[in-house]
Structure 1
Amino acid sequence: MNRFVSKTRWLTRYVLPTIILVGSAVAFYPMGSTPEVPRKPKTAIKATVVEVAEIHALDGPLTIETTGEVVLHRVLSIASEVEGRIVFKHPNLRVGEQVDAGETLIKIDPQRFALTVQRLDITVNQAATTLKQLQQDRANLAEQVTLARQSQQILVDDLERILKLDRSQATSTSPSARSPCRLARRLCESPPSDNAQRQGRSRTRSFHCWVDCRFGWR
């Protein structure tokens, strides 16, 4: 009886607490431990393969093939002096393309401006016709001025001649003294021969008629 009691006490005092402690440790161990992260295997660094060559001079240009982005050196804005509908555009007229000097880049519909040019040509032709007419009128006026000056000179010569006859034959009653009167009357009565001399003849007749009345020749 005493031996059974002593074994029970020994189990209760020593063995049972030990079992509880071991079970608690086993239960809480996964909760407190950090899971191990798998690590990547280390790869060995590969050496760069290079090619060794001897240095030598180049006879031509050095060409290096590479990739990159092209940046524009400058941007030009192309504008037309006139407005209109574009009927042609150069196929290379875009970013990155090239065009040769003297090539046509764009064309504008010329129909609208062709009508304007035609209308201006008609105006120029009318102005040229008017100019020719004015030049002809100027030539005609110059000819009339020349004829008028000739008529004036004829009148002056006739006046001098009549005055000389008047001074030399003022007291004579012979038929020769009345010749200026007859000349004046014939000039007054004779019609002008043509249109070019109409003005000069008219002035001459008026002058001689005036002389006839002034000196009283009958």
Structure 2
Amino acid sequence: MISGVQPLVYIVDDDPSVRKSLCRLVRTSGYEAKAFASAEDFLACPRIESSSCLLLDISMPGMDGLALQETLNSISDRNVPIIFITGHADIPMSVKAMKAGAMDVLTKPFESQELLSAIEKVLKKETKDFPARIHKKEIQARIQFLTNRERDVFRLVITGMLNKQIAAELKIAEKTVKVHRHRVMEKMKAGSVAELVRFEQEAGLRRS
């Protein structure tokens, strides 16, 4: 098991017996497990901030596994690595899942060790990437806390513009720019313009 915070394995499968057996296997291997009977139930559950992965059945009534994957890919704060499980080998479906970002596709019946190896591989990477992902969310939250005018100033400061140039661009007084700039630095917890630029990159923002 990965050391530190206990990783969480989500399980989404409409078959109660499969959910029960997967939960038992996951928990006896030292991971937390949280199971859902449908994709809709999973989406309704608040995301827990931890290293995690999702064991997802492809074929389910209602929203199927591929549809859930597509939905998760469109929601930035619900991005979770997926290991698909399927009752039949369907190459086109597997290819589609992998192209959309799935980490693995396992066909039932599979050996317990095969599944655990897939989970271990995914969670090792997740645990490594988790601190950076949390930091990114913190930076994005700081940016969201800026007022519209502060964001305007932030956007121009990171291009290297001087206060007087920003004032001309925004048609406001230079002293007003200085006030907004100070607030931006304070709210972003940045000690320099270089740090602001780094925050912008870490937040994954696109300059217009």
TM interval, shorter chain, is under 0.3
Structure of higher CA gyration radius? 1
Q: Normalised by the size of structure 1, how large is the TM-score?
A: 0.18
Higher relative contact order (CA 8 A, sep 6+): 2
